[in-house]
């Protein structure tokens, strides 16, 4: 399946992560744009996300996939920044415990690194940068973040990644305990999508 067979205004979400695609579909589903994911594009190139910033990683992925598929591509790079760890794992969040990107291993390493750190010093934030690219290489960039704290043990069964140990203070819930409708109002990805939504429709309509 290549871009020439896709509606010109279709936005390709450059991920094979079902949880992430589901969130994007919920967050952007009200826009008059068809959304699809890389799961529908067999043979898509694997893009190395080895940049030093979220913007660099999201940009190279969005531009590469847009050019390959010949349709507008949306990529995000997100990370967890923990103040007591000097902002780590940050841009390395997905591979914090190794190249296999094992979420449970990442959470275990994070909790080990924070062993003995009191609650008030476990402040952290999720940050999300979204880059949308047209096939010709033109890009649109937005960002969102969400403040919270790192729990001492995982809570909840929803979400993915670090969600079970990220506490949203206003609600008192971890991201993995939140109903989807609440997470889709307060998360870093939700806030980035709020900034993106009003601009995406015009940007995606490439002649």
77 classed as catalytic: yes
CB 93 within 8 A of CB 87: no
Residue 13: strand, helix, or coil: strand
CA angle, 130 then 85 then 92, to 5°: 40
Catalytic residue of the set 76, 77, 163, 168: 77
Q: Which of 83, 74, 78 is nearest to 12 (CA)?
A: 74
Contacts of 189 (CB under 8 A, 6+ apart): 23, 24, 27, 76, 78, 128, 130, 144
CA distance 83 to 149: 10
CA distance 76 to 11: 13
H runs (alpha helix) in 95-159: 103-113
- Residue 175: both structure tokens together: 């991201």
Contacts of 202 (CB under 8 A, 6+ apart): none
CA distance 53 to 56: 5
- Biggest alpha carbon distance in the chain? 57
| Residues identified as active-site | 77
């Amino acid at each position: 399946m290549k871009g020439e067979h896709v509606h010109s205004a279709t936005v390709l979400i450059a991920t094979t992560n079902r949880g992430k695609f589901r969130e994007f579909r919920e967050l952007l589903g009200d826009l008059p744009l068809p959304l699809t994911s890389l799961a529908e594009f067999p043979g898509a190139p694997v893009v190395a996300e080895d940049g030093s910033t979220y913007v660099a990683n999201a940009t190279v992925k969005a531009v590469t996939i847009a050019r390959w598929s010949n349709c507008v591509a949306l990529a995000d790079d997100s990370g967890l920044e923990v103040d007591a760890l000097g902002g780590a794992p940050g841009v390395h969040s997905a591979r914090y415990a190794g190249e296999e990107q094992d979420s449970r291993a990442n959470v275990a390493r994070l909790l080990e690194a924070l062993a003995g750190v009191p609650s008030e010093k476990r402040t952290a934030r999720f940050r999300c940068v979204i880059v949308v690219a047209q096939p010709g290489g033109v890009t649109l960039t937005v960002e969102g973040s969400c403040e919270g704290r790192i729990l001492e043990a995982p809570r909840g069964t929803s979400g993915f990644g670090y969600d079970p140990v990220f506490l949203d203070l206003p609600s008192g819930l971890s991201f993995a305990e939140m109903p989807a409708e609440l997470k889709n109002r307060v998360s870093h990805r939700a806030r980035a999508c709020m900034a993106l939504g009003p601009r995406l429709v015009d940007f995606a309509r490439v002649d």
